[in-house]
Amino acid sequence: MSEEEEAVAEAEEIIRSQRIFLNHLDTYGGSNMGRYLASCTVGASLEEVAEEEEEEDEGRSAVEISPLKPKEGIYQVVGTLSQETSTKPDFAVEAYGTSSREELLARLLECDIIIYNITEDVKQIEEAVWAATAIQAESSKFEKQKVFILLSTIMTWARSKPLDPEDPEIPFTEEDYRRRKPHPNFIEHTNAEKTITKLGKIAKSKFNTYVVASGVQYGAEEKLLHYFFKLSWLGETPAIPIFGDGRNAIPTIHIVDLAAVLQNIADHRPRTHYLIAVDESIQTFSEIVKCISRNVGPGKTQKVPRENAFLNKDLTQEQLDELLVNLRMEAVYLKENFNIKWVAQAGIVEHIDQVVKEYKQSRGLLPVKICILGPPGVGKTSIAEELCKHYKVHHIKIKDVIAKAIENLEKIVAPKEIVEPEVVEEEEEEEEEAEEEGENIEEAQELLDSVKENMEQNAGRLDDSFVVRFMKEKLMSMPCKNQGFVLDGFPKTYDLAKDLFNLEDEEEEDDLKGKIHHYDKVIISDYVISLNASDEFLKNRIMNLPESVVAGTHYAQDRYLRSLNLFRELNTEDETVLNYFDEIEIHPQYIDVSKFEGLENRVIAKEIIKTIGEPRNYGLTDEELEEFERKQAEERLAREAKEKADLEQKEAEERAQKLANWEEWNKRLEEVKRQEQELLEAQSIPLRNYLMKHVMPTLMQGLNHCCMVRPDDPVDFLAEYLFKNNPEFD
């Protein structure tokens, strides 16, 4: 076999079987990169650039790069877990728990490519260096080359001096890696990079090493930028914070693009052993946060002093260091040599729509959009409140929406006296915003005048066109788009539903089945609940309401009957609101409220929740969960302490009561004895008198006589004496 055939055979073997080790498969980076690599065909990134590299590097061996098209075969991903309690990811062939170094080394030697990510856990640096050293020591036994990739961070460049002091915007490239100066908190990362690079130079044909300096990672469920995404999504703050002036440039890369870089290294095995992995954007911290705020949150940002950032409990010191870094970097080698199907080549700002979509899907932050319909008095509002409370969504009522819209218009046209200093933008943006604000004021004033005039002409009511406009603006607001909403009794008619949900540029078409609706998927309700009951049931329910509740509302007898009759008229036609939803394949859930007579509406809400499912928003954070558990423990201890104190108090009261009862019983007993004694004494007086008169004198004489005579039998003597001297015989 010729040398060329041997090279081809060796390349085929490399492509045919590749096993990748990746540490911490259960972390943000490990899970996303592992999932991507597990879906990649071995050698797939060589397809488009193989010919070019073959021409440029004719002298390179087949081990370094294969000119062959890849054969079928998926990368087998194995690795370790960061937590012993974590389960093996579905994309991994094997997941190793914490084991001894000897066992781990044996696992590593089974792999063709070893990737150690040290961007998430500083403790992994020491293990990565050990692993590379141990594998290199065994390299003489290898039949084919093994590759070790250290995934590091651009923070090892954080304090590098500009290439040209007069032009600090010149970006760093891979060629400048020897001039890099690390951030003080990332010196260990730099030392690891140097060690790994040296180990790869000892026996390249058997053991090759690469260092990848990764930009700030984003995408999927988000990592570093998650703080800003979550803050924006929750909508609890009027402005999203920017630490410092926000002008620092942050090199970034999408987590999937980073995985693609690793795939290319595994396939290409380039000669350059230090690579920079960043996208082509040069975006500042301020631009990134503003973009997130506009597309997920309130649309405003707030600059806070840098020192205040370190008081933030949601961000670690390492994360703040990455956010405040100021670097301009260019991944020249990636662009010129790798075949990457970029997800976000132009950066997060340019691809924000896709990034936001990934974020919401990865974290399950899908809005819950519900529409509750039914006759007046059926319980729509109370059930809507229960659903809003359970799903943490927004309650949409017509009156509130109209009132809020008019209030906002009045705020816009009101003269601005003071501009809040903390919500400040760049000067150019301020000028643009001032121009837009001027146009907005004119439009708002015109709309406000039209609304007031319309309400005056209609006795305080507003035309459907204005109602639909305000309602659509509400449903398109960021809070409703993020969390969702419950529409309370709106729309009322088929035409209103079309005006509200259909796209504005819709052209009505007819097909064999009927009408086709091009509805707006952003605001359309995913669940439609139709509540109903007989008129008699509804009238009885309203009649049983307290007068204080009915007074001044549409539940008053004359108004309620008119509202009920109007609802029945609107819903007996062929084109009803429910028909509209049926036509767009959103089939309503029908609930007969009368079946739950005597029960609270929350029982009906539970029936609806069974259909819709679990909430789709943020649960408790680790800190909140810990606080919740702590409060529960405190409440349990307080409850147990209270129960114990109550028991002790009860026992003390019982003892006191028993003692009081004992004392009272003794007092009564003494009183009874005294009364008995007095009664005995009173009863004994006649007998004593009788004895003193008739018995005692004779008895005393007999006793005296007995004492003088002293007979042998005194009792018999006394008896005979009493018999002889009995006064009755005298």
The tokens of 488 are what?
């309370």
Low-confidence ranges of the chain (pLDDT < 50): 1, 7-8, 11, 14, 49-71, 418-427, 506-514, 729-730
Which residues, in sequence order, are CB contacts of 692 under 8 Å at separation 6+?
A: none
Residues 6+ apart with CB under 8 A from 281: 252, 346, 347, 348, 349, 350
Domains in the chain, start-ordered, CATH in brackets?
3-362 (3.40.50.720), 368-612 (3.40.50.300), 622-729 (1.20.890.10)
The answer to whether the CB of 349 falls within 8 A of the CB of 283 is yes
Burial 281-296 (b: 16+ CB within 10 A, else e): bbbbbbbbbbbbbbbb
Long-range Cβ contacts of 48-51 (<8 Å, 24+ apart): 48/339, 49/337, 49/338, 49/339
- Number of H helices and number of E strands within the chain? 27, 20
Residue 373, strand partner residues: 530
Q: Count of alpha carbons within 13 Å of 165, Cβ hemisphere only? A: 0
Do 214 and 152 form a contact (C-beta atoms < 8 A)? yes
Distance between CA 666 and CA 660 in Å, rounded? Answer: 10
Q: Which residue has the tokens 């994360």?
A: 319
Alpha-carbon gap, residue 282 to 273, rounded angstroms: 24
Phi, psi of 530 (to 5 degrees): -110, 110
The tokens of 499 are what? 């005006």
The sign one gets for the Cα dihedral 527, 575, 593, 375 is positive
- How is residue 485 written in tokens? 């909403």
Tell me the C-alpha distance between 369 and 617, whole Å. Answer: 13
Q: What distance in Å separates the CA atoms of residue 219 and residue 537, rounded to the nearest whole number?
A: 54
| pLDDT tens-digit readout, 513-564 | 445 568 889 999 999 999 988 888 888 887 777 766 666 566 666 677 888 8
Residue pair 532/378 in contact (Cβ under 8 Å)? The answer is yes
Task: Give tens-digit pLDDT for 477-512.
Answer: 999 999 999 999 999 999 999 999 988 654 444 443
Cis peptide before 491 (omega within 30 of 0): yes
Looking up tokens 């309130």 gives 298
Q: Is 94 helix (H, G, I), strand (E, B) or coil?
A: strand
d(CA 699, CA 690): 13
Q: What is the pLDDT of residue 448?
A: 87
Q: How far apart are CA 83 and CA 26, in angstroms?
A: 8
For the segment 22-76, what is each residue's pLDDT rounded down to a tens digit? 999 999 999 999 999 999 988 888 875 444 444 444 343 333 333 334 345 789 9
For β-strands 283-284 and 249-250, DSSP reports them as antiparallel
List Cβ neighbours of 555 (8 Å cut-off, separation of 6 or more): 376, 377, 542, 545, 549
d(CA 151, CA 128): 10
DSSP-assigned letters across all residues of 550-577: HTTSTTSHHHHHHHHHHHHHHTSSSS-H
Q: What would the two tokens of residue 50 be? A: 């193989």
Rounded to whole angstroms, the Cα distance separating 205 from 27 reads 32
**Reported pTM:** 0.76
What count of other Cβ atoms lies within 10 Å of the Cβ of residue 350? 16
CA 222, 226, 230 angle in degrees (round to 5)?
125
pLDDT confidence of residue 216 = 95
**CA separation for the pair 616, 393 (Å, rounded):** 10
d(CA 193, CA 184): 15
Q: What is the pLDDT of residue 209?
A: 95
**Element (H or E) spanning 78, and its range?**
strand 76-80
The pair of three-digit structure tokens given for residue 125, joined into one six-digit string:
């640096």
Q: Please, are residues 221 and 282 in contact by the beta-carbon 8 Å criterion? A: no
Q: CA Rg, the chain, in Å?
A: 45
Contact in structure between 394 and 487 (CB atoms under 8 Å): no
| CA distance from start to end of the chain | 170
Residue 326's contacts (CB-CB under 8 Å, 6 or more residues apart) are: 247, 248, 249, 250
Alpha-carbon distances of 689 from 229, 682, 686, 704, rounded to whole Å:
113, 12, 5, 21
